[in-house]
Amino acid sequence: MIDEDNIIDNDNDEVLYPELIRKKGRFPTIEIDIGNIPKKFENNWTNTVVKITKEWVIDRKYTKKGTLWIWTAPSYNFQNNMTWSEFIMAQGLPKDFFNYLCTQLKHNFGKNIVKFSEYVEFSDEWMSICHVEKRKVWQEDDPYTYKQI
């Protein structure tokens, strides 16, 4: 285990070897219809997720750890047509954050593009979107380093 005092390099605003929250089990997800997302968000929609997360962390002065995860899969959950969906899962963050995130994503992307979805099993196939630690939001720079957003 790495000493927590050595995790943050204040000169570079980096977290080395962050302790991402990885719990086994089934968790609720937010589903985004990537096939119909507004054009201005097509290649950078996760930046909106990170921005919303950062606003929430600052506003709530949130001090605990949490990790947002993403998984891509085909889906028939929108208008009964097959589309590609991105599923977002939050671990270590409270339910009110997840509700806030879903509401804000609907506001940004459209209510027919975003919805609460089924409970999905967490596995190694999920990729991190961002990590919350020490009242800051971090994004992966390389497999061992996260940079402050």
Q: What is the pLDDT of residues 72-130, one digit of tens each?
A: 999 888 878 888 999 999 999 999 999 999 999 999 999 888 988 889 999 999 999 99
Closest CA to 135 of 44, 23, 58: 58
State what percent of residues in the chain have pLDDT above 90: 70
Alpha-carbon 134 to chain mean position: 17
**What is the pLDDT confidence band of residue 11, given thresholds at 50, 70 and 90?**
low
- Among 37-41, 47-51, 54-58, 86-90, the minimum mean pLDDT is found in 37-41
Neighbours of 44 (CB within 10 A): 9
Beta bridge partners of 127: 70
**What is the pLDDT confidence band of residue 18, given thresholds at 50, 70 and 90?**
confident
Q: Given this model, what pLDDT does residue 41 score?
A: 92
How many structural domains is the chain composed of? 1
**What is the pLDDT confidence band of residue 14, given thresholds at 50, 70 and 90?**
confident
User: Does residue 13 sit in helix, strand or coil?
Assistant: coil
Alpha-carbon 4 to chain mean position: 23
Q: Given this model, what pLDDT does residue 38 score?
A: 92
State what percent of residues in the chain have pLDDT above 70: 92
Average pLDDT over residues 38-53: 94
Residue range of the domain that includes 95? 4-148
